[in-house]
Amino acid sequence: MEEVEVEATKYFLLAWSDVEEDVEKLSVKVEKDFGIPTIIFGILRGGATVANLISDRLQMHNVHSIGTKSYKDVAVRGRLDIYQPITVTDLGKHDVLLVDDVSDTGSTFKDVIETQIEPKKPRRFCTASIHIKPWTSFIPDYFVRKLDGWIVYPWEKHETIKALGEKLVRKYGSKTAEDIIVREFGYRPSIVKRILKT
């Protein structure tokens, strides 16, 4: 994991190997304390990726996704929208693991639990994320690391380049914005240029 600061915002740049290592640690915690869940729900987008990795590690493949959206921009949250609710109607016979990549403000976890999990009365359920922020209002049952900046996961590089790039372009112009992102994030110039043009 690499830490950089751009325009007074701290970024943690994670490689796939960082994520895999943290998922392994998270899976061990879940298995040791909660056991093997009978169903896993991953909160889209990042939580679905983490849920899939955990399911592979735990050798169980009953994995579903819950579609939510709340970020408008880097470090700017919008209203939570659950655009893909749970389709399983009864969780009474299930030991449920609810997964997200990070618990930032905590509101996504809280809203999903209140509107999607608890009404379906699971036999047991627990929550997990690989990371939490120090200011979160919801601490999952299981997590690996506390990080106090914007986390750039391998599955959202383009989103980060686009959001940060637009701010930098407004402030410095296209060429300087591209140079800053390439220098600080280590992304290929051709990719940065293409994303900023879309």
Instruction: Based on the fold, state whether residues 73 and 113 are members of the same structural domain.
Output: yes
Nearest to 158 by CA among 121, 197, 130: 197
Helix (H, G, I), strand (E, B) or coil at 169: helix
Q: What is the pTM of this model?
A: 0.90
Q: Which domain holds residue 30?
A: 10-152
pLDDT less than 70: residues of the chain = 71-79
Nearest to 77 by CA among 133, 161, 144: 133
Instruction: Based on the fold, state whether residues 33 and 80 are members of the same structural domain.
Output: yes
Instruction: Based on the fold, state whether residues 115 and 34 are members of the same structural domain.
Output: yes
Instruction: Based on the fold, state whether residues 79 and 140 are members of the same structural domain.
Output: yes
Instruction: Based on the fold, state whether residues 112 and 31 are members of the same structural domain.
Output: yes
pLDDT at 81: 85
Is 5 domain-assigned? Answer: no
CATH code of the domain in which 79 resides? 3.40.50.2020
Pairing outcome for strands 95-103 and 76-84: unpaired
Nearest to 78 by CA among 66, 68, 87: 68
Instruction: Based on the fold, state whether residues 115 and 172 are members of the same structural domain.
Output: no
The end-to-end CA distance of the chain, in Å, is 28
pLDDT at 197: 86
Is 2 domain-assigned? Answer: no
Is 79 domain-assigned? Answer: yes
What Rg, from alpha-carbon coordinates, does the chain have?
18
Q: What are phi and psi of 31, to 5 degrees?
A: -65, -40
pLDDT at 72: 55
pLDDT at 141: 98
Instruction: Based on the fold, state whether residues 74 and 161 are members of the same structural domain.
Output: no
Instruction: Based on the fold, state whether residues 160 and 105 are members of the same structural domain.
Output: no
**CB neighbours of residue 67 within 10 Å:** 13
pLDDT at 14: 96
pLDDT at 68: 86
pLDDT at 73: 53
In sequence order, the 6+-apart residues with CB closer than 8 A to the CB of 175 are none
